């Protein structure tokens, strides 16, 4: 597999307003399916990513706490919407509004995960990026597992101040971005 660019370019890539990036993973988060939009935007070939961890596209600007929230929500059998900045193999960033759901077998057991991502509104990206910078700074300031705990507390405090769940926060950003 080609290694991801170790140097960020500072560029941001976009995709079509009506395009969806779709991936599926197994229970351990290894890619089992990618659509052509994912491959084009992430600048990978299918054979390079199938069987690889989905975090092959993780951007260093993403706070760990958002992935904790994502995995905790999925483990509870629930869906989640989240703004995510990803990193293509060429060092270019791309933002998405992700909808991630558990996939169930006939007996109701979680057997994997399905993610559909669409192009986010620029204003929503600005707000998410500002929050994520604060969360990431807290993770780095404290460090390690304690940093993740501190970032979690910061996120929960911010949501409590707003009287919102994370889902409500995401939908507020989404609706504000589409009303302009």
pLDDT digit string, tens, across residues 38-67: 999 999 999 999 999 999 999 999 999 999
Rounded Cα distance, 8 and 172, in Å: 30
Domain map of the chain by residue range?
A: 21-121
pLDDT at 177: 57
Q: What is the mean pLDDT of residues 124-145?
A: 96
Residue 180, pLDDT > 70, answer no
pLDDT band at 7 (very low <50, low <70, confident <90, very high): confident
- Edge-to-edge strand order for the sheet containing 80-87? 31-34, 21-25, 110-118, 93-104, 80-87
CATH second-level architecture of 21-121? 2-Layer Sandwich (3.30)
pLDDT band at 82 (very low <50, low <70, confident <90, very high): very high
The candidate with the shortest Cα–Cα distance to 18, out of 93, 108, 143, 116, is: 116
């Amino acid at each position: 597999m080609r290694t991801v660019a170790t140097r960020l370019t500072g560029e941001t890539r976009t995709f079509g307003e009506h395009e969806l990036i779709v991936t599926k993973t197994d229970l351990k988060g290894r890619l089992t399916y990618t659509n052509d939009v994912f491959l084009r935007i992430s600048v990978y070939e299918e054979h390079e990513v199938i069987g690889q961890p989905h975090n092959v596209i993780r951007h260093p600007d993403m706070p760990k706490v958002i992935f904790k929230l994502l995995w905790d929500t999925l483990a509870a059998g629930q869906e989640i919407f989240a703004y995510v900045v990803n990193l293509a193999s060429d060092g270019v960033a791309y933002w998405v509004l992700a909808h991630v759901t558990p996939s169930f077998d006939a007996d109701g057991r979680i057997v994997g995960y399905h993610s559909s991502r669409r192009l986010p509104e620029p204003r929503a990206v600005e707000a998410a990026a500002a929050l994520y910078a604060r969360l990431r700074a807290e993770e780095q300031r404290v460090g390690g597992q304690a940093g993740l705990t501190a970032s979690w507390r910061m996120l929960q405090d911010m949501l409590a101040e707003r009287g919102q769940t994370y889902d409500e926060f995401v939908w507020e950003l989404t609706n504000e971005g589409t009303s302009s």
